[in-house]
Chain A
Amino acid sequence: MTEALLFLVVGAVAVAAAVMMLLSENAVYSALFLIINFMCVAFFYLMLDAPFLMMIQIAVYAGAIMVLFLFVIMLLGAEKLGEPTREFRWLAPLALALSVAFLVITGIAITQGQIDLQGPQTQPPLVRVAHAASNAGPVDVYADGQLIAENVAFKESSGFLPLAAGEHTITLNAAGTDTALLSAPLTLENDPERTVSAFTLVAYGDAPAVSLIPDNLETTEDRSGRLTIFNAFDRPVDLWDMGSEFNPDDDRAITSDLAPGASVELPAISENTDLRAWRFTEAGSKEAALFRLNNPDVFRIRRDEAQMLVLVSERVLAGTEQDLVRAVAVPLLSRALPSFGGPQAVGELLFTRYMLPLQLVAVLLLVAMIGAIVLTHKEDFRPRRRDVRRRVAKPLAAAISTQVGRDVLQPGLETPKLPPQEEEQPQPVVD
C-alpha cells in the first residue's frame, strides 16, 4: 500500500516536472525541472531493486550531463529565444494528436494485450552432488538418464548445475560403469523466497541413500558467511562451541540432536569467528567428541561464501584389526551470489557476458571525446583567418611608413628593443 502511494506521488512529480520542462520559457528552468524528473526516475530505480543504476542515474545524469547542459545554456546565453517565428503552425496540434494517439495505443497494448507480463521468471534451481558414502567408490550421477556429475570421489562435490524444477529420477552409478548403486525419485522445487534456489544432493550412508539439502546462496551480511551443517554420520550429533578449554561455563550449543540425514542452516556467522573451539559430539554427551574443527586453514568462515559442513563417517584401516569408523567433517564451499541489481552483480555481468559491448562503448566514448574537441576547436572552422589578418596588416604597415617617412617593412631594419629581460620581441607581421 505504501509502495503504491509512493509510486503515485513520485510518478505525479515526475510527470509534472516533465510537463513543466516542456512549458518553461526559460531554458535554465527547463534544465532544473529535468533534474527533478531524473531524480524521480532514480527513485523508481531504487523501488525496482536497481540501487547501482540509481547511483549512476544521479551521478551521471542528474550530475554530469545536466551540469553540462546548464553550462552550455549559460555559455551561449540561450536562456530565452526571441519572438517565435513559427513556420510550421500546424505542427503543434498534429504533435499533440499523434502523442495522444500513441499513448492510447500503448495503454491498450499494455492493459489489454496478450503480453505475458505476469509472474516473475524464476531461474531453474541449481544442484550439485556431494559424495559422503564412505564405502562407495567414485560415482557418476544421472538425472533422468542425463549425466549431471561425473566421477565424484568420496568427500568431494561437483559444481552447481541448473536442473529444471519438477520430478526427476536420480541414478548413482559406480564411476565409468553401468552398475547402478542407487536409483531414487527426487522432486525439485523453486523456493519462492529466493532469487535462485540451490540444492546439494548428498549421497551418504552404508547402503547409499540420497538426500536433497537446500543451500542458501543469497548474499550474506557484511563480512560474514553462511554455514549449513548436514549430518551424514550414523548417530545423532551435537555441535558445541567449547570456548576456552579450561572454562566449562562458556560452552555453548550451536545445534543439538541433529539426526542422521538431517541438516540445519546456521544464522550468518562473522568471518572472524574462530571455529577451532567448535566440536561435534555424540548427542547428549558433551565429552564424547567426534570431530574438532581445529584446522583453521580448512574450517574457516569467509565472507560471501556459503559453506556446507558434512559430517561423514570414514572407514580407516579397513580389513585390519584396527578397522574403525571415524567422523570427518567435509567443507563444501560455494560462493554466495551477488545481490540483484547491486554493483557486484552488474560488474560480473559487465565483465563476462557484456565484455564486447563494454569495449565498443568505451571506443564510442573516446570517439565522442575526440569529436567534441574537433567540433569546438575554433581554427578548423575559420581556416582563412590568417590570410585575412595579413591582408589587413599590409596597408597598415604602409600607412605607418608614410607617417614615419621610411619603409618599416624593409628587411634588415633595426627594430627598437627593450633593454633588460626582454628575450623575444613579437616580430611585426612581414609578408
Chain B
Amino acid sequence: MVQIEAYVILSAVLFILGAMGVLLRRNAILVFMSVELMLNAANLALVAFAKQWNQMDGHLFVFFVMTVAAAEVAIGLALIVAIFRSKRSIDIDQLHQMEG
C-alpha cells in the first residue's frame, strides 16, 4: 500500500514541471501542453484523495476537469492557429514584441 503522501508529492513534482514549462518555453503549443500537464497533476492528487477518503466525488471532479481541459484545448489551439495565420509565428516572445 503506497502512502497517500507519495501520490501527492508526485503530483506536486509534475505540477511544478508543468509550471516551469509554462514559464520557460517559447513555443505557444508547448505552453499549452505544459498546462495540460499541470491539470493532470491536479487530477492525480484528486484521485489519490478520493481513494484516501473513500469518496467518489474526487473522481467526478477529475471527470469535469478533463471535460474542461478538452474545451480549453479546442479553443486554445484554434487561437494558436488564428494567431499563426496573422503573425506567421507562435513564438510567445516574438508575439510579445510584435504587439499592436
User: Number of A residues whose C-beta is below 8 Å from B?
Assistant: 83
Interface residue ranges, B against A (CB under 8 Å): 1-2, 4-10, 12-14, 16-21, 23-27, 29-30, 32-34, 36-37, 40, 43-44, 47-48, 50-57, 59-60, 62-64, 66-75, 77-82, 84-86, 90-91, 93-94, 96-97
- B93 contact set on A, CB distance < 8 A: 84-88
- Which of B12, B34, B69, B73 lies in contact with A106, CB distance below 8 A? B12
Grouping DSSP codes into helix (H, G, I), strand (E, B) and loop, the A interface class, with mixed when no group exceeds half, is helix
Whether the pair B1, A3 counts as a contact (CB closer than 8 A) is yes
Q: How far is the CA of A348 from the CA of B69 in the complex (A)?
A: 23
Could you jot down 18 A-B contacts, CB within 8 Å?
A7-B6, A11-B10, A15-B10, A15-B14, A18-B18, A22-B25, A37-B37, A48-B50, A82-B91, A86-B93, A87-B93, A91-B23, A110-B5, A110-B8, A123-B54, A346-B59, A364-B67, A368-B71
Grouping DSSP codes into helix (H, G, I), strand (E, B) and loop, the B interface class, with mixed when no group exceeds half, is helix
User: Considering only CB atoms, which chain A residue lies closest to B72 in the complex?
Assistant: A368
**Interface-centre pick from B1, B32, B67, B90 (highest chain A CB count, 10 A):** B67
- Which of B66, B75, B81 lies in contact with A72, CB distance below 8 A? B81
User: Considering only CB atoms, which chain B residue lies closest to A120 in the complex?
Assistant: B54
User: Considering only CB atoms, which chain B residue lies closest to A367 in the complex?
Assistant: B71
Whether the pair B81, A41 counts as a contact (CB closer than 8 A) is no
Separation in Å of the B17 CB from the closest CB of chain A? 4
Residue interface mask A17-53, B partner, CB < 8 A = 1: 0110110000100110010011001001101111011
- Which of A4, A82, A372 lies in contact with B74, CB distance below 8 A? A372
Residue interface mask A72-83, B partner, CB < 8 A = 1: 110110100110
- B51 contact set on A, CB distance < 8 A: 48-50, 120
